[in-house]
Amino acid sequence: LSYKVSIIGAGNVGSFLGLSLMKAGLDIVQVYSRSLGPAKMLASSCGAEAVQELHTLKKNSDLYIIAIPDDEIRGITSEMIDFKGTVVHTSGSVSIDVFRGRAEKFGVFYPLQTFGETKQKKPEQIPFCLEASDRETRKLLEETAGMISKNIYFLDSEQRKAAHLAAVFASNFTNLLYGFSEELLKDSGLSFDLVRPLIEQSAFKVRVSSPENVQTGPASRGDISTMKAHLELLKNKPELFEIYTKFSKLLAKKYTGKDVEL
């Protein structure tokens, strides 16, 4: 099973998919990016041609994977109307309808994961959320995702949007909390290393459990004197003070059933 793939976009997602599919044995034909530097870098790793102009995209690939910012997807599809291959985007939030009237075979190829410089710890577990215009495309996307991961889901555009929103809470907002933690440690001359094992264990706990069954900490115990002592430490940090108060009240209410005054 080998077919020709073109990657549109050379950012974190495009790079991960291009490299993974190349390693899986697919023929990465071209990598497009408005900026030639990233296109060249990814293309050279994939044995592909780097292109910077949309009109130089070859029209005979089997699969075009669009991995560019959400608000640029619609614009690019209008340049690809006469392409024969299947066209997919990789966005959590953009409906499959963006392709209607602009492609014959199309779909969504959304890896629900955070991508960046860090290597993927377990690429074979990345949930791929797929959606397809037709049965043949469904099969193509399932096979393609299956070359990278064992976790394949078919979600419609509404479900995918909800999954993306859930991911923002589970990852993006969580990472902001990690950052607050680092800030607080630094303020006291302490290293972020102090909480790294805690972060790892906290994520480990929900690998099989539901988060609500593994909650710990002063707020869920209704330990008002500790919460007040913490707020005292935050009195010069209004944003963190507000977040601490909000989260602690929610936790205390949920686990002790009582409204706490802080």
Site for a second copy in 127-166 (CB under 8 A): 127, 129, 151, 153, 155, 158-159, 161-166
Q: Is residue 91 a contact partner of residue 34, using CB atoms and an 8 Å limit?
A: no
According to the binding rule CB under 8 A, does residue 204 interact with a second copy? yes
State the minimum distance, in angstroms, from the CB of residue 149 to a second copy.
9
Between CA 242 and CA 42 the distance in angstroms is: 43
State the minimum distance, in angstroms, from the CB of residue 82 to a second copy.
28
Q: Which of residues 66-125 bind a second copy (CB under 8 A)?
A: 69-71, 93, 112-118, 120-122, 125
Q: Is residue 261 a contact partner of residue 253, using CB atoms and an 8 Å limit?
A: no
Q: Which of residues 47-76 bind a second copy (CB under 8 A)?
A: 69-71
State the minimum distance, in angstroms, from the CB of residue 87 to a second copy.
21
Q: Is residue 112 a contact partner of residue 167, using CB atoms and an 8 Å limit?
A: yes
Binding span for a second copy by CB under 8 A among 16-24, 52-60, 137-145, 210-218:
210-218
Which residue stretches of the chain are H helix?
12-23, 36-46, 73-77, 135-146, 157-167, 174-187, 196-205, 218-221, 224-233, 238-256
Between CA 163 and CA 155 the distance in angstroms is: 9
Closest CA to 143 of 133, 156, 128: 128
According to the binding rule CB under 8 A, does residue 220 interact with a second copy? yes
Which residue's CB is nearer to a second copy, number 3 or number 154? 154
State the minimum distance, in angstroms, from the CB of residue 255 to a second copy.
10
Pick the binder of a second copy from 146, 223, 241, 262 (CB under 8 A). 223
Q: Is residue 151 a contact partner of residue 125, using CB atoms and an 8 Å limit?
A: yes
Task: Name 56's Cβ contacts closer than 8 Å, sequence gap at least 6.
Answer: none
Binding span for a second copy by CB under 8 A among 16-24, 45-53, 81-89, 232-240:
232-240
State the minimum distance, in angstroms, from the CB of residue 139 to a second copy.
22
Count of residues in contact with a second copy, rule CB under 8 A: 96
Residue that is written with structure tokens 């003070």 in the block: 241
State the minimum distance, in angstroms, from the CB of residue 261 to a second copy.
17
Between CA 140 and CA 67 the distance in angstroms is: 18
State the minimum distance, in angstroms, from the CB of residue 8 to a second copy.
18
Binding span for a second copy by CB under 8 A among 21-29, 45-53, 60-68, 203-211:
203-211
Strands 106-111 vs 128-132: parallel, antiparallel or unpaired: antiparallel
Between CA 188 and CA 13 the distance in angstroms is: 37
According to the binding rule CB under 8 A, does residue 205 interact with a second copy? yes
Closest CA to 136 of 112, 104, 100: 104
Between CA 217 and CA 154 the distance in angstroms is: 37
State the minimum distance, in angstroms, from the CB of residue 97 to a second copy.
14
According to the binding rule CB under 8 A, does residue 202 interact with a second copy? yes
Q: Which of residues 159-198 bind a second copy (CB under 8 A)?
A: 159, 161-182, 184-185, 187-190, 192-198
Task: Name 118's Cβ contacts closer than 8 Å, sequence gap at least 6.
Answer: none
